[in-house]
């Protein structure tokens, strides 16, 4: 059975953006393209209307590329429980108020039982120091938190990952 992966907005942004002059950013963009082209078929991908709305913002040409990349990725339905979980994460200061959208991405991936939340947002999402407390908080509310990671961490054969996800 394939692992279920929630594709957050930064993934499609890195995938479709013009190559950055910043070497680290350019490397992450290339890694994202390699994962998208070579590894994504090993997983069942999902996204949300929230991602679609974010992807549609900004430069019209760039938005069109982002939305085109997401065209075949199924959308997770809205869930009141996700909104409640996101609000609770913010109210308990596990994420800063400016990260309300990030809290909702995590909550959607959580309540829809995704195995992985794939992101390049290392400030609020793929942040190990924050995820310890966030994971504990989410588990106390009866949910399993998905693995939150970057494409770099999903480059191996998912069959080799076994129960680690």
| Cα angle for residues 67, 71, 72 (degrees, 5° grid) | 150
What pLDDT, on the 0 to 100 scale, is given for residue 157?
A: 65
- Strand ranges in the chain using DSSP code E only, listed in sequence order: 4-7, 44-48, 75-76, 116-118, 147-149
Q: Tokens 């995938």 correspond to what residue?
A: 15
Domains of the chain: 4-156 (3.40.50.1010)
Strands (E), 9-133: 44-48, 75-76, 116-118
Distances in Å between the alpha carbon of 9 and those of 67, 156, 158? Answer: 10, 22, 22
Q: Minimal CA–CA distance to 14: which of 130, 140, 118?
A: 118
| DSSP state, residue 126 | S
Structure confidence at residue 164 (pLDDT): 47
Closest by CA position to 70, among listed 97, 90, 42, 49? 49
Work out the number of other CB atoms within 10 angstroms of the CB of residue 61: 9
* Residue length of the chain: 165
**Block means of pLDDT (10 residues each) for the chain, length 165 residues?**
97 97 97 96 97 98 98 95 96 94 98 98 94 96 97 78 48
Query: What is the spatial distance between Cα 30 and Cα 25, in angstroms, rounded to a whole number?
Result: 9
Give pLDDT, residue 156: 80
For residue 158, the model assigns a pLDDT of: 61
């Amino acid at each position: 059975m394939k692992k279920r992966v929630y594709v957050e907005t930064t993934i499609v942004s890195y995938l479709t953006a013009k190559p950055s002059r910043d070497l680290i950013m350019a490397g992450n963009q290339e890694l994202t393209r390699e994962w998208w082209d070579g590894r994504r078929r090993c997983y069942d991908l999902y996204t949300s209307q929230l991602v679609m709305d974010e992807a549609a913002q900004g430069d019209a040409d760039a938005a069109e590329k982002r939305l085109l990349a997401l065209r075949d990725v199924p959308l997770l339905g809205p869930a009141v429980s996700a909104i409640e979980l996101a609000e609770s994460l913010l109210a308990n200061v596990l994420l800063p108020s400016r990260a309300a959208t990030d809290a909702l991405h995590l909550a959607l991936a959580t309540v829809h039982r995704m195995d992985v939340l794939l992101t390049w947002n290392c400030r609020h999402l793929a942040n190990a120091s924050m995820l310890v407390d966030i994971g504990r908080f989410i588990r106390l509310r009866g949910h399993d938190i998905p693995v939150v990671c970057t494409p770099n961490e999903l480059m191996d054969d998912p069959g080799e990952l076994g129960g680690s996800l």
